Amino acid sequence: MWKDNDDKIMGILDSIETQNKGCFPVVCPICGEKDGHLYFHRNRDGDEKGSMWVWCGKCYHFAHALCRLPKWWKNLDKINFEELTSYPNHLEENKFCIDEWINKLNALYNH
């Protein structure tokens, strides 16, 4: 079901670097539906690098990579690390909480 053959999905990452922070879900750069999501995972407190997933819940394009994490990032307690794989199945199941969490972190960080 998941497709990792289009790098345009990485455009979702831009959503946290522009002025329009705090607006997840974002428009998917591939299919245009407002179902684009983002999640980071920090392995240990203080780690600068971790994992990143971007995905769309409509067309199922996704990307998973190691990356430098934003300073403000905190893992969401609800996400079970044991269930994280390169595919965002577990993340898609929790996308509403994830969107809410990112929007909240972004709002806090902007103050």
Contacts with Zn ion, residue ranges (CB under 5 A)? 28, 30-31, 56, 58-59
Which residue is it, tokens 């199941």?
93
CB-side exposure of 59: number of CA atoms within 13 Å? Answer: 18
User: Measured between alpha carbons, how far apart are the two ends of the chain, in Å?
Assistant: 39
| DSSP classification of residue 36 | E
Q: Which is nearer to Zn ion, 60 or 105 (CB)?
A: 60
Q: How far is the CB of 32 from Zn ion (least distance, A)?
A: 7
Q: Which is nearer to Zn ion, 69 or 98 (CB)?
A: 98
Q: How far is the CB of 34 from Zn ion (least distance, A)?
A: 9
Q: How far is the CB of 59 from Zn ion (least distance, A)?
A: 3
Max CA distance (Å), the chain: 39
